[in-house]
Chain A
């Protein structure tokens, strides 16, 4: 150890130096308090032996100055004193000294005290290092939490916008929310909602939000059914989360006009359904296990379906509400909650949130709280911005093909023809309707023309099956015959026009007879579809060839 001796008596300094150097310490000497302070600052010794009575600055003053200089760092200061009255000794300690040695110095006591104080100094140093380390870690954790928080907010961001059909309330117990609430439009104009409550709360609970939200959005874009979404979420969570973590959840889909709600619920509190006045109509228990518990093969995908009246409301919420505690330790509970839905509250949703806060009083929230109100009315979402495709130069073209027995036998050539046509600018956005037109034209040419099947077969349900059985048999036996397809595309300044001609090698059919089917008949539908979708339809006299025109650029 590096030891500073502050004493104005040279004999004392020499004696101490001799003992200490003999024990393997290095020694620095100062002759008064002031010099002691200066040397302390320049040499940073590990321990100080301090005389009390000295010229220029005494030991008390020097100790005080050193302590102020050191701040939180600990360096032991031991007073060397000839004073023996209690008051002086007490002053040594109160001023910032750690111990004292009475003069004349006893060698053994000196050694023992130095050893003891060096131990305390080591402990102090370790403590200080740990404190610094801890502060560093704390800063790092805070930064990581910030990063994680921003990732979560982005992952879920767009979801929290309420539309006219939903209202929600989210109140996490900590920075991170173990409850997840997402909504998304469905391709057919409806609305999807998911509410999930992961086991626990805080960061570990929130981690599950990422796979859950990604899977949910993938599903909603694809327009999956509720049971498929639930199953995919389960699969994703089951694979992603450790065994002890899972999510109580409800997945809902409301159709575009708000007349049908399909849902899957596992592990959540009862879903409440009220009428437009807020009066409880039904409570539905979550019949399934939470997501992430069962393996894919055991997963139960049954959904519940309700056909609400206009204005009915669905309330889905996490157990953070019903398990809210008041200062007495009572739980809020189902009864208190359901009592709000007796039809007397003008706005039970807002009242519920107010009620929970009042119930809890000064008590900290013990779990994440989330509730969503789904109002059964036609879904209104903000219209997405539509960017119009740039107009491109359109060139005229023709497409001719003749399909013989081998080509007719495989899968329908219509999709392939449509893909070819769709490659032309301006045609692709009409692909769906063209697909219908071309399919109908092709079926008629093949079935009634080449194969000579009669629609009359389709009169009964069994006949209907028979018709398609015969279609397959005759197709398999087909030795000769063909369907030719000619498509031409012409453009003028305003729009393009497609002319499509189908001819077949059959005997022809009575076009007038086909058109006479009435609306109950399960055949003859194709002809009226073609009539409506095309601008003009012309059959030749024998019914072996049909030409239709279809204008592009018109709105359908």
Chain B
């Protein structure tokens, strides 16, 4: 599965992992990964994400809009090229990028 979500043992933190290419083909899957869980800390684990394009950036922004500005969303374990894309797009303003 290119998108996997897992709750931590205390049910407080939802980790969404994206494997391979993060692009428009994951639109549905990505949305359903976070849509059902409310009031948790969201972590997007990009350790296995090889590429992402602007459609993925749009998907992340949609996630932010849907969950609201107060939701805690972190993007973690980015490879350098992914981090660069996030930085260029100034995503550090909207997300906690580790």
Contacts and interface: CB of A to CB of B under 8 A. Distances in A.
A223 B81 contact: no
B4 to A, nearest CB: 9
A525 B54 contact: yes
A525 B87 CA distance: 12
A464 B76 contact: no
A168 interface: no
Contacts of A287: 9
Contacts of B27: 464-465, 468
A522 to B, nearest CB: 4
Given A287-B9, A439-B23, A468-B24, A260 B55 contact: no
Interface string A405-447: 0000000000000000000000000001101100110010000
Given A305-B13, A461-B66, A464-B62, A528 B8 contact: no
Given A190-B77, A464-B27, A223 B47 contact: yes
Bin the interface of chain A by size.
35 or more
A466 to B, nearest CB: 10
Interface string B76-92: 11111100110011100
Contacts of B76: 188, 255, 260
A303 B9 contact: yes
Nearest to B89: A525
Given A304-B8, A468-B24, A186 B77 contact: yes
A523 B6 contact: no
B54 A526 contact: yes
Contact of B79 (A187, A225, A468): A187
B3 interface: no
Interface string B59-83: 1011001100000001011111100
Given A432-B81, A436-B51, A464-B27, A525 B7 contact: no
Contacts of B85: 436, 529
Majority-rule SS of B interface residues: mixed
B98 A257 contact: yes
A529 B66 contact: no
A529 B88 contact: yes
A520 B61 contact: yes
A237 B80 CA distance: 34
B33 interface: no
B53 A256 contact: no
A259 interface: yes
A224 B7 CA distance: 17
A271 interface: no
B38 to A, nearest CB: 16
Contacts of A461: 31, 62, 65-66
A533 B43 CA distance: 27
A529 B84 CA distance: 10
Nearest to A188: B77
Interface string B17-38: 1000001100110010000000
A68 to B, nearest CB: 76
A223 B90 contact: no
B6 A188 contact: no
B62 to A, nearest CB: 5
Given A461-B65, A522-B62, A188 B78 contact: yes
Interface of B: 6-10, 13, 15, 17, 23-24, 27-28, 31, 43, 45, 47-48, 51-55, 57-59, 61-62, 65-66, 74, 76-81, 84-85, 88-90, 93, 98
24 contacts: A224-B47, A225-B15, A260-B74, A260-B76, A260-B98, A302-B6, A302-B7, A302-B9, A303-B8, A304-B8, A305-B15, A305-B43, A433-B81, A435-B51, A464-B62, A471-B24, A519-B89, A522-B58, A522-B61, A523-B58, A525-B54, A525-B58, A529-B54, A556-B84
The 10 A-B pairs at the shortest CB distance, nearest first, are namely A526-B54, A522-B58, A432-B81, A525-B54, A302-B9, A188-B77, A522-B61, A525-B57, A439-B53, A532-B88
